Structure formats: C-alpha cells, structure tokens
Chain A
Amino acid sequence: MKENKQPLTTLSQQEQERYDRQVSIKGFGRKRQLKLKKARIIVAGIGGVGSSASMYLAVAGIGSLTVIDSGEVELSNLNRQILHWEKNLGTSKALSAATKLKQLNPDIEVTAREESITEDSVLKLLEGTDGVIDCLDNFPSRYILNDAALKLGVPVFHAACSGFEVRATTIIPGVTPCLRCLYPRELHQAKVPILGSIAGMAGNIATTEAIKLIAGLEPTLKNRLLIYDGLHLRYNLVNISRNPDCLFCKGVRTNEG
C-alpha cells in the first residue's frame, strides 16, 4: 500500500474539503479531525462487522488503518461482509478489504495483515496502536485480543452481533470491565446466524465510539453494554462493572488521564 506522505500537523486543502461535513459538526472542528489523522487504528476481523467498521474509519480520515484477517472470502460471507465481492471469492479477506479501503480514501495509510490473532502474534500486531476494533467472529480470538490489549493498555471497541441483535462496549484497560469481566464464559456456536444490516450497525457503533474516544468526545460506552434488538425494536444500555476477581484485568493500571 502507498505510504501517506502528508504532514500530520496540518490538514491539506483536499483534506479540509473531504472532511468538511464532519468538521463542521458543532463541537467537532479541525483540531479533532487532526486527532483522527494522527490516529492508528486496527480492525481485527474483516467480516460483517469489520467491513462497516473499517469503511467508516477510512472515510472519517483515521490516518493509519490496519486490517487483520487470516481468512479467505467465501460465498456465505457475502450476505453481510460488504467489503468483499463475488470477484474476491477464494482470495485473502485482508487484501480484499485493504484494496477497497485505499480506494475509498487515498489520503490515509492502509495496511493488510493476513494473519490470525494468536497468543504468539497478538502483542506484536497491537504494538503502537491507539485502539483496536474487535470484530472477531469467535470467543477464543476475542479473549486473546482482550488479554493483549490489557497488557499494552490499548482501548478495545467491542462489537458483536447475532440474528437481529447487536452488542457493543468500549473497553479501557484499568478503567472499565474487560471482556472476561463481562463474559466470563463463552457461548459455543458453530455458525452464528446474522442479518447483514445488523452486522453493519454493530461495526458502525464501534467505529463511532472509536472516533469519539480519539477526538475526545463524551459520553462513550465505557462501563456500559449496549444491547440493540432490531427485530423487537429494543435498545438497552446496561451498567457493567469490573469483576474484582477477574484474573485478567486485576492490577491493570490505566493509561488514561
């Protein structure tokens, strides 16, 4: 992918015009846009949730975007994984995504990592990042990502879906509950049924959270779990707290403030 050669301290004429409609939101402004430009964000998993999450991070002007996925595009992905198209069947999801994200916004840097999130790879993958969107499709990988993010003090924007439902929360190591505080036990499911528009919502909620945290806008989903049920049209914000007995985030200190 082409390197982003633009200075990180200013917005070019092209960037000012490209981002004009969000910079002009009351309380947003150029300063916050510059924060997005300086940010390095990882999208872990480019499935249904990761597709929308990464597309909106790209068009919002997140300066450096890394997409991680070891999988290849399958036909049954295409009901929801909108960054992958029929012509991409059998090819790398990370590359398929990165190619399109770069076209969506040539002003940002996009990196593809065709790798799995494993205990061996995860710390290196997360090093130096400002945040990671957890769009992984299985609990073992989500837990590995959680544990590494706790070690490195990296915020995790958790997003998941099933059927017509969305869950999202913002995990700040040392401040909020971690994924293991929230879900001490995983739910085994061979195949999770998902409507594409719902996966898209999950990704967009996590991306909105990431943009707000980087830009310094409150409130966020810290210490709260969002449950959205699109079938019955229910929306709940559940207060969640750290489990004092959680072996994984016990003693983790905050990088915040």
Chain B
Amino acid sequence: MKVKVLLFAQHCEAVGKKEIEVDLGKIDKITAGELYQRLAREYPKLKKLAKVTLAVVNNDMVNARALVKDGDEVAFFPPMGGA
C-alpha cells in the first residue's frame, strides 16, 4: 500500500519536506501510530515529537489506533500555541 503524508509546523521542519509518499510494500493496513513510528525510524527528528503528535486521516482528526489504508492521506503535526 501507498499513502501520502502531509507534515506541518515542527513535523515539517523535522522531515525537511511538506509531504512525502510512503510505500509500505505488501502491508495492506497499518495504524496511524505505527505509520508514525516507521517514519520516525527514517526521520529520527520525529522521535522527539512523538508524544505531542496529532494525526489526521482523510481530513478527520484520529487517535493513534486509527487504521490507515491504501491511498489514504495522512497528516501529522504538533499542537500550536504561539501568538
């Protein structure tokens, strides 16, 4: 399966890209949390943000246990509090 991952704020800075295509090969389903862990192995700067990470699947905010399927659009970002 393949998914598109959008990154915002510190997550965008940690990866150095605003979005990435992730090819998960033969895997046909994965949770949002597992997907994040896989990305954090590839982009270690994401590890520090893990605890505050918010996940969105196909425009709905979800928890880490939510399932991601082939073709889904996922987004990861931190809370924002500046003014």
Contact = CB atoms under 8 A, between A and B. Distances in A.
A236 B80 contact: no
Interface string B47-68: 0000110101001110000000
Contacts of B54: 183
A202 B81 contact: no
Given A162-B9, A238-B75, A194 B82 contact: yes
B65 to A, nearest CB: 13
A56 interface: no
A236 B80 CA distance: 15
B18 interface: yes
Interface in A198-216: 199, 202
A160 interface: yes
Contact of A199 (B8, B18, B83): B83
A185 B50 CA distance: 11
Given A185-B51, A229-B8, A236-B75, A137 B82 contact: yes
A136 B83 CA distance: 6
A240 interface: yes
Interface string A25-57: 000000000000000000001011110000000
Given A165-B8, A238-B59, A239-B59, A187 B75 contact: no
A138 B81 CA distance: 6
Contacts of A234: 6, 8, 18
Contact of A161 (B59, B60, B61, B80): B80
A138 B83 CA distance: 8
Interface string B6-22: 10111010000010000
Q: What DSSP secondary structure best describes chain B's contact surface?
A: mixed
Given A183-B54, A185-B51, A135 B60 contact: no
A183 B79 contact: yes
A135 B81 CA distance: 9
Nearest to A229: B8
A237 B59 CA distance: 7
A14 to B, nearest CB: 33
Interface string A213-246: 0000000000001010100101011111100000
A160 B80 CA distance: 6
Given A183-B54, A185-B52, A160 B83 contact: yes
Interface string B24-54: 0000000000000000000000000001101
Contacts of A156: none
A28 to B, nearest CB: 29
A162 B80 contact: yes
A163 B18 contact: no
B79 A185 contact: yes
Given A225-B61, A238-B59, 18 more contacts: A47-B83, A136-B81, A136-B83, A162-B81, A186-B81, A187-B79, A189-B82, A192-B83, A194-B82, A199-B82, A199-B83, A232-B18, A236-B75, A238-B56, A238-B61, A239-B60, A240-B61, A241-B60
